[in-house]
Amino acid sequence: MTDAAAAYEELKAQGLKLDLTRGKPSAEQLDLAAPLLDLPGAGNHKAADGTDTRNYGGGQGLPELREIFAPFLQVPAGQLIAGNNGSLELMHDTLVNALLNALPGAPTRWVDAGRVAFLAPVPGYDRHYGVCERLGIDLVTVPMTADGPDMDEVERLVADDPSIKGIWCVPKYSNPDGAVYSDETVRRLAAMPTAAPDFRIMWDNAYAVHHLTTDEIEVADVLALAAEAGNPDRPFVFGSTSKITLAGAGVAFFGASQANVDWWLKLASKRTIGPDKVNQLRHALFLEDGEGLRAHMAAHRELIAPKFAMVERLLAESFSDTPGVTWTHPKGGYFVNLVVPDGLASEVVRLAKEAGIALTPAGATHPYGKDPQDAIIRLAPTLPPLDEIENAMAGVVVCLKLALARR
Amino acid sequence: MTDAAAAYEELKAQGLKLDLTRGKPSAEQLDLAAPLLDLPGAGNHKAADGTDTRNYGGGQGLPELREIFAPFLQVPAGQLIAGNNGSLELMHDTLVNALLNALPGAPTRWVDAGRVAFLAPVPGYDRHYGVCERLGIDLVTVPMTADGPDMDEVERLVADDPSIKGIWCVPKYSNPDGAVYSDETVRRLAAMPTAAPDFRIMWDNAYAVHHLTTDEIEVADVLALAAEAGNPDRPFVFGSTSKITLAGAGVAFFGASQANVDWWLKLASKRTIGPDKVNQLRHALFLEDGEGLRAHMAAHRELIAPKFAMVERLLAESFSDTPGVTWTHPKGGYFVNLVVPDGLASEVVRLAKEAGIALTPAGATHPYGKDPQDAIIRLAPTLPPLDEIENAMAGVVVCLKLALARR
């Protein structure tokens, strides 16, 4: 038996039960928002403008909460909508709206447009793909670079094909590769000519304030650049507090041009008599202001940066000089992207599973779950405690070594 | 000047600013749920099964909350979904799902089905109509009776026309006429042959526990009757705590057959990583159980029954013997339906508005805002304090007298 095979047998004998699959905050991170569980407090149900948050109404969401998040999401507070507990819902519902009611600038509602396709930079976020697959929107992949999507390819595709109606973007600390869109990428996205007059950028700024270092990276202001370029209605901006306060009980945001916001609110008014404003008040009272938000995210960083450092250390110890094995060193976000030689990703995931270590399925970073190179493994190190990260990553190292040895 | 005209001039001179438009709970009713503003309380974030309610997941909603509401909504807890803060959202999204993904038993998704129409018993709830109008679903009116929709007419329409895919129902204390569906109506709805194999009953049990008297009226179990009749997938049941706890920050419910629930949850899993379970835990802790819910609704009744009695008294004092003027005497729900001679409703609403009394626009109880008889005025007496109800209703009496005198 080779050393690698022996090490793997030893790993399996440990009977581990560890999980690096999903980008979920840990219990300690959720504890940072513990005051939310007592807020707003008895008798404390009025918004700053006197609105009784307990009753119906207020479709755009609480102004004081929108004010706190507006600068971080780079959307004027008046063009920002605060909703319920998930930005995925807002993305989904925005596409539903575009399917069933013509967007500003659209020649027709999308269900009447024949084929509708979105560009999917890969590797990317499986839930973005899931929304499109569920809604009958085709996905066309484009490669990611360290500066964002390959813009030559993006520009080429959107210039000719009017059925390409949008692109998915996680502009900062991208899921899963941690890429930060360069200013030039954002400028080109905002300004590029598109065959579809109703082209939209799904700007999922999920990690806007989720820094892993003290270098608080900023991306260019896509709404402003699009307006300057004469495409004010192009960006749809999304964000949420799911990985700031409580993952399941946060507040999500949607921002866009005034025309888009008016379109959105008019349709939303048929669906709801308003979002949960009590929860929005809870959040405004807890975070207080931009400085409060920054301080809160610094506390998150203290909890999770050591976990990312552990992943980095264990991978570097074993694979610094291994041809074909690379990984990302993200400055924010929730993931480390491990790239292995072509054809090995699913084998590593399989070996890990047999040893009791759950990894995100290989291929999940690509539409329809198919990574043609079978080379990408998404590691999510926030949820487990540090010692479990260490054990799980030590196991991943063993599995990858075995897969490499067997090749 | 006639007496009626003089009284109206006096009314206008008072410079009132009163509002009987919407079925909103009053601040005193919302105060009944004050403990929710401190719940679940620091450290108290685990569900009965140990789930951390703060994190992602749990798409069907908290079991202990579903258990409390299951008997009142007449849906087994396992087939009940607890969502976010509005049943209107659940109704809207269920129809979106049916439009974009074929329902169990449907030959096609509804956007590919050509015309899709729903039956709208009139008078009915304007927001139901709004959902259909926004989604491109036609509305076909059928008359309401004291026992629910005119079932001869309903059976005739659904038997022949496969484009009629559903019917809106508020089975208990109906909006706005307070009607309670008879057992025979429910049985016929559940059993009637329909040309559409994917026909659905939108069973909006909005006032399931909202009794105005100690006679806690029960309606027949539509899910059970539909299953018995061989149409298990026909009913979609909706409910919410909006008029139980907090109007804007409650919990909504959707219940149906297992096949429908599976279909719904699968689609919802593409839209959300779960509802706000912390708010569901808050509700479970506050209401405790079915008895807690009953006691809470009795406290609501004490607050609002006198307001309904005031409306009744003022209308009875002036119009008991007036031909063509009738009104409902609801045993629950949120509305009194005032019927005036044909052609007078919008005139009364106009006169009231000029005197500073806002009434729901005449016609709002009908699709597209058009009541062909112009005879129905929906009065919503829950929101204002009792003295304002008295003043507003005294004003409505003056306006109706003037409209009758001028006829």
| Residues A40-66 pLDDT 10s | 999 999 999 999 999 999 999 999 999
Residue B103 has what DSSP assignment?
P
Contact between B55 and A133 using a beta-carbon 8 Å cutoff = no
A39 lies in some domain: no
User: Are A233 and A344 within one domain?
Assistant: no
Q: Which residue is listed with tokens 């600013």?
A: B17
**Where residue B9 sits, what CATH number does that domain have?**
3.90.1150.10
Tell me, yes or no, whether A281 and A302 share the same domain.
no
Which residues span the domain enclosing B172? Answer: 44-287
**B133 interaction partners in chain A (CB closer than 8 Å):** 270
Assess whether A254 and A303 both reside in one domain.
no
Q: Are residues B11 and B50 in the same domain?
A: no
Domain end marker among A272, A287, A302: A287
Six-digit token pair at A254? 């949607």
- Residue B255's SS3 state is strand
Structure-derived torsion over alpha carbons of residues B63, B69, B75, B78, reported in degrees to the nearest 10: 0
For the entire predicted model, the pTM comes to 0.97
In a domain, B36, yes or no: no
Which residues neighbour B71 within 8 Å (Cβ) at sequence distance 6 or greater? B290
Domain count across chain A: 2
- Please give the mean pLDDT across all residues of chain B: 97
8 Å CB contact of A247 and B56 = yes
Spatial separation of the C-alpha atoms in residues A331 and A308, rounded to whole Å? 10
A10 is a domain residue:
yes
Cross-chain residue pair B130–A270, CB shorter than 8 Å: yes
Residues in chain B: 407
Q: According to the model, what pLDDT value does residue A35 have?
A: 97
Alpha-carbon gap, residue A47 to A63, rounded angstroms: 9
Whether residue A117 is found in the same domain as residue A208: yes
Are residue B78 and residue B93 in the same domain, yes or no?
Answer: yes
B52/A contact by beta carbon, under 8 A: yes
Mutate to test the interface with B, among A85, A116, A263 (most CBs of B within 10 A): A85
Residue with tokens 């042959």: B193
Contact criterion met (CB below 8 Å) for B204 and B170: yes
A30 is a domain residue: no
Within A288-342, residue ranges assigned H as helices are 290-319
This model of the complex carries an ipTM of 0.97
N-term to C-term CA, chain B:
15
Helix A277-287 vs helix A290-319: crossing angle, to nearest 10: 80
pLDDT of residue B286: 98
The first and second tokens of residue B392, run together, are 């507003």
**Residues near B229 by beta carbon (within 8 Å), at least 6 away in sequence:** B187, B190, B191
**pLDDT confidence of residue A1:** 76
Question: Which residues in chain A land under pLDDT 70?
Answer: none
Q: Is A331 on the interface with B (CB under 8 A)?
A: no
- Cis status, amide bond into B40, omega within 30 of 0: yes
- Is B326 exposed, middle or buried, given 0-12, 13-18 or 19+ CB atoms closer than 10 A? middle
User: Of A84, A134, A246, which is closest to B84 when you measure between CB atoms?
Assistant: A84
**CA dihedral (B308, B313, B318, B323) positive or negative:** positive
Supply the CATH number for residue B75's domain: 3.40.640.10
CA distance A272 to B85: 9
Alpha helices, H only, A161-289: 183-191, 222-228, 258-271, 277-287
- Within the 191-210 window of chain A, which residues sit less than 8 Å (CB to CB) from chain B? none
Reading across the β-sheet that carries A336-339, which strands appear in turn?
A326-327, A336-339, A376-379
Nearest C-alpha neighbor of B155 from the set B137, B170, B142, B171: B142
- What pLDDT, on the 0 to 100 scale, is given for residue B334? 97
Which residues of chain B are modeled with pLDDT < 70? none
User: ∠ CA A64-A67-A68 to the nearest 5 degrees?
Assistant: 95
Q: Are residues A91 and A117 in the same domain?
A: yes
Interchain proximity B270–A84, CB inside 8 Å: no
Q: Note whether residue B390 is domain-resident.
A: yes
* Confidence (pLDDT) at A22: 84
B43 interfacial to chain A (CB closer than 8 Å): yes
Q: Are residues B315 and B262 part of one domain? A: no
In a domain, B313, yes or no: yes
Q: What is the nearest CA distance from B5 to chain A, expressed in angstroms?
A: 37
Domain boundary (A267, A287, A307) is at: A287
Q: Which of B287, B316, B333 is the last residue of a domain?
A: B287
